[in-house]
Amino acid sequence: MKMRIRVSTKAALYKQRKQQHLDRGYGIEDERPVPVNGLCSFIAVREESLSGAVDELVAQALGGKKR
């Protein structure tokens, strides 16, 4: 399952925001580095494993303890 986030930011912060998402393990798609109405954007994409999401929910239900 892919998680996609559209990130819109001021032109001056575009490179910084893109790097933050790359550092967190996201891939970058559909870059729009040229500002439109003062904003640039890109789509941050990360592959989420369904089992990982279930594991996280179980951990939360058990009070934060992961198996």
pLDDT, tens digit, 9 for 90 and up, residues 14-60: 999 999 999 999 999 999 999 999 999 999 999 876 666 677 777 77
Residues 44 and 9 sit within 8 Å (Cβ to Cβ): no
Q: What is residue 56's predicted lDDT score, i.e. its pLDDT?
A: 73
Task: Look at residue 65 and tell me whether its pLDDT is greater than 60.
Answer: no
First to last CA, the chain: 22
Say which residues have a Cβ less than 8 Å from residue 61's Cβ, sequence separation at least 6: none
Task: Look at residue 67 and tell me whether its pLDDT is greater than 80.
Answer: no
Q: What is residue 60's predicted lDDT score, i.e. its pLDDT?
A: 77
